[in-house]
Amino acid sequence: MQQCHLGLPGIDGVEVLRGIRAWSSVPIVVLSARHQSVSKVEALDLGANDYITKPFGMDELLARIRVSLRGTHATADQPVVEAEGFTIDLGARSVTRNGVDVHLTPKEWSMVEILVRNPGRLVSQQQLLRDVWGPGYATETEYFRVLMARLRRKLEDDHSRPRHFLTEPGMGYRFVP
């Protein structure tokens, strides 16, 4: 399949879609001047809820947004995840371990949130670097090791033998509830 690119200033819209879908199920409506079927199909396959091409009327845009919002519930996108010994409340942005609040730095929280929103799925190193640190850090893999070691000390019962935050060497990380 030919890969399309949704043009945005400074970043590809396809990457924006992938990044958002890595941690959220918020409705996404793509507004584009690209009428090609391949562009529409790729955006929808990557998680867009709708794709509207220019020119369009404001009434049509608002109707499509209403349709995309229909059936969504704020609580469905903000689950509470319980694992052996700790609880992560994504809506409240809080973590407790054995009933005691655990302080996470903003980077630690970002990494936990991305992994927890993708339970059992491998999240690549490149995706985590891009989403947690930004696009300029795509090769800085040592950042993972330090951050993951801190998270494991804070959340795992035995940080030397993790059961929930697993490393897939050379590939990425996986959260197993």
* Per-domain residue ranges of the chain: 7-73, 78-175
Q: Which band of pLDDT confidence, cut at 50, 70 and 90, is reported for residue 1? A: very low
Three-state DSSP at 173 gives: strand
What's residue 8's pLDDT? 60
Confidence of residue 77 (pLDDT cuts 50, 70, 90): low
Going by C-alpha positions, the residue among 3, 45, 5, 51 that lies closest to residue 28 is: 51
Give DSSP secondary structure letters for 22-58: TT-----EEEES---HHHHHHHHHTT-SEEEESS--H
Q: What is the pLDDT of residues 137-176, one digit of tens each?
A: 767 777 778 889 999 999 999 999 999 999 988 788 999 9
Distance, CA of 110 to CA of 81 (rounded, Å): 15
Alpha helices in 70-141 (DSSP H): 106-116, 125-128
CA distance linking residue 16 with residue 24, whole number of Å: 12
- The pLDDT, as a whole number, for residue 134 is 75
pLDDT confidence of 72, banded at 50, 70, 90? low
Q: What is the pLDDT of residue 86?
A: 93
Per-residue pLDDT, 28 = 85
Query: What's 129's DSSP letter?
Result: I
Q: pLDDT value at position 32? A: 84
Q: Which CATH architecture has domain 7-73?
A: 3-Layer(aba) Sandwich (3.40)
Indicate the pLDDT class of residue 75, thresholds 50, 70 and 90: very low
Give dist(CA 56, CA 141) in Å, integer.
44
Same fold across 7-73 and 78-175: no
> pTM for the whole thing?
0.58
| DSSP-assigned letters across all residues of 81-96 | EEETTEEEETTTTEEE
Q: What is the amino acid identity at position 12?
A: D
Query: What pLDDT score was predicted for residue 43?
Result: 80
pLDDT tens-digit map of 104-118: 998 899 899 989 988
Instruction: Return the CATH number of 78-175, one of 3.30.2130.10, 1.10.10.10, 3.40.50.300, 2.40.50.140.
Output: 1.10.10.10
